[in-house]
């Protein structure tokens, strides 16, 4: 069991097959310390993630780890992104959920290839799951792979998946105190997307306060206010993605 969130690996599945052992699934005698085992598991995860990052980088593939609480609008954002810029750059998606293929089906309907990972009782993806999904997805050189992590603001921040960047989505319907409640997630992110800003007239949410608290935790964090349904702010989000693609292409072009 995961001491942080209580998840286990009993039902991890990927295309109807069992996934890798869960990083925190262990049984020790009473009184035994679990910290060394957790450290070894995270080290193994990080080694696999580093190898994945190296292989993607060599092909100019941009991998983005997209994280949020449930219902923040990650899938709607991806659908809109695929429809708006999918003709410009190939986008593929790895979907993480505890059950169903609902989100993967939505992504395919929007026009992108998708692989669904069902984690069962697990509350996050890990590097082994993503490595297997990438082998099936086989993303095009120079493309974008977006990993839609399981909806959770705790454990996904702890696990390196081999991404080049981490994006956290915070919906205005969820309250502007998320950075204070979940500081590790916001410290780990590169971009903060404040989503559903079209609903600001109807909810109590201080965008400036949310961004200010997040940047107190992480001064390098780039905030972008967006509406996945209304289109507000999406040009800036797309610009950020284009910057990552251009950087990846430059790396490939200058690598001997």
Looking at residue 255, its pLDDT comes to 86
pLDDT, mean of residues 193-216? 98
Residues 57-91 pLDDT 10s: 999 999 999 999 999 999 999 999 999 999 999 99
Domain boundary assignment for the chain? 34-254
Looking at residue 2, its pLDDT comes to 55
Looking at residue 252, its pLDDT comes to 93
Look up the pTM and report it: 0.87
- 150 phi and psi, to 5 degrees? -60, 140
> Cα–Cα distance between 44 and 128 in angstroms, integer?
10
> Cα–Cα distance between 14 and 95 in angstroms, integer?
11
Looking at residue 87, its pLDDT comes to 97
- 94 phi and psi, to 5 degrees? -105, 120
Is 5 in a helix, a strand, or coil?
Answer: coil
Number of other residues whose CB lies within 10 A of the CB of residue 231: 12
Q: Is the pLDDT of residue 15 over 50?
A: no
**CB distance 147 to 94 below 8 Å:** yes
**Domain at 34-254: CATH code:** 3.40.50.300
CA 179, chain centre distance (Å)? 17
**CB distance 142 to 173 below 8 Å:** no
Using pLDDT thresholds of 50, 70 and 90, give the confidence band for residue 37: low
> Cα–Cα distance between 39 and 231 in angstroms, integer?
42
Q: Give the whole-number percent of the chain exceeding pLDDT 90.
A: 82
Q: Is the pLDDT of residue 6 over 70?
A: no
pLDDT, mean of residues 239-252? 97
Looking at residue 10, its pLDDT comes to 45
């Amino acid at each position: 069991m995961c001491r942080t969130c209580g998840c286990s690996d009993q039902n991890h599945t990927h295309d109807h097959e069992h996934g890798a052992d869960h990083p925190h699934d262990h049984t020790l005698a009473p009184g035994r310390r679990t910290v060394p085992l957790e450290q070894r598991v995270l080290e193994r995860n990080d080694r696999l993630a580093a190898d994945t990052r190296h292989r993607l980088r060599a092909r100019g593939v941009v991998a983005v780890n997209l994280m949020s609480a449930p219902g923040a609008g990650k899938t709607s954002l991806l659908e809109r992104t695929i429809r708006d810029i999918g003709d410009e750059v190939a986008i593929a998606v790895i979907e993480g959920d505890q059950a169903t293929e609902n989100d993967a089906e939505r992504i395919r309907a929007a026009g992108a290839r998708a692989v669904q990972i069902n984690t069962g009782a697990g509350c996050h993806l890990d590097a082994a799951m993503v490595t297997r999904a990438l082998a099936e997805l086989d993303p095009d050189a120079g493309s974008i792979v977006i990993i839609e992590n399981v909806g959770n603001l705790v454990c996904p921040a702890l696990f390196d998946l081999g991404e080049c960047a981490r994006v956290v989505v915070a919906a205005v319907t969820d309250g502007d105190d998320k950075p204070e409640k979940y500081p590790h997630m916001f410290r780990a992110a590169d971009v903060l997307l404040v989503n559903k800003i079209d609903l600001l007239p109807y909810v109590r949410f201080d965008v400036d306060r949310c961004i200010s608290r997040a940047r107190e935790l992480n001064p390098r964090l780039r905030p972008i206010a967006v509406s996945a349904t209304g289109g507000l702010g999406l040009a800036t989000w797309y610009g950020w993605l284009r910057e990552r693609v251009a950087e990846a292409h430059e790396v490939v072009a200058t690598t001997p």
